[in-house]
Amino acid sequence: MTIGLIFSAIGATCLATSSFAKTKKSMLTWQLSDYFFTMIANFLLGGYTGAISISVSIIRNTLMIKKWDSIYTTIILVIIQVSAGTYFNNLGLIGLLPLISSVSYTIISFATNKVQWLRWVTVENMLLWSFYDFTIKAYPALFMDIVITITTLIAIIKYSSFTKKTRTLS
């Protein structure tokens, strides 16, 4: 369990860093680092739907970084995630939270290049993952879910057009 918690903490730190990325490619690259460590942590802590969801997310982000994603790969990845995640779900409704989180991120990240939208979906994802991480006792990840939610909200405010307009008027 201790090794799972260590992997969880490393992954969460990478995800927190992604919140302040200025480009979609940079954000997706930091998330790949997070996914690698978090996938292992979830598997070690018995969160199989989380591990499956994250493994498909690794493929998704890699395709997006290489600009090989399309509507067809997006649909295929969503189908794989939902099918495999549902099949291996050992946590009931809580086990579906990583799937919901990942599917929403997959759809939004395919639909837009706007980093601000990706930040908003990151907040949604962290809230869903916090319930899941609490259930599988991934406490470093739970702590970081909260921190990432806060830091991402700060990034949203920092990079919002409203804040930029206010600064130029001052």
Share of the chain above pLDDT 90, in %: 39
pLDDT band at 112, cuts 50/70/90? Answer: confident
pLDDT at position 169:
53
CA dist 11 and 79 (Å) reads 25
Residue 136 has pLDDT above 80, yes or no: yes
pLDDT band at 72, cuts 50/70/90? Answer: very high
Distances in whole angstroms, Cα of residue 59 to Cα of each of 50, 67, 88: 15, 12, 19
pLDDT tens track for 1-32: 689 888 988 888 887 788 778 888 888 889 89
Contact yes or no for 57/14 (Cβ under 8 A): no
What is the C-alpha radius of gyration for the chain, rounded to an integer number of angstroms? 16
Question: What is the maximum span of the chain, computed from C-alpha positions, in angstroms?
Answer: 56
pLDDT at position 97:
95
Residue 47 has pLDDT above 70, yes or no: yes
